[in-house]
Amino acid sequence: MKVTKDTIIGDILDMAPQTAPYFLEMGMHCLGCPSARGETVEMACRVHGVDADELVAKINAAIGE
């Protein structure tokens, strides 16, 4: 699985639960909420003031992509 800015957060967490701390670090503490799980990486980063490209790179490195 290769993560992009358009990847849904719920899909990432289902496939690679070990990435949850990256979302928690950016202030996204409601990972179980349906609305949070349905957002794209880019949407969540915009709301939380985080660079989406940086987060995508971090997640892909963690999952070996």
pLDDT value for 27 = 86
pLDDT over 90 for what percent of the chain?
Answer: 72
Q: What is the mean pLDDT of residues 5-28?
A: 93
pLDDT above 70 coverage of the chain, percent: 100
Cα–Cα dist 43/20, whole Å: 16
Whether the predicted model's global pTM rises above the 0.85 cut: yes
pLDDT of residue 28: 85
46 with 6: CB under 8 angstroms? no
Q: How much is the average pLDDT of 39-59?
A: 94
Give 29 or 60, the one with higher predicted confidence: 60
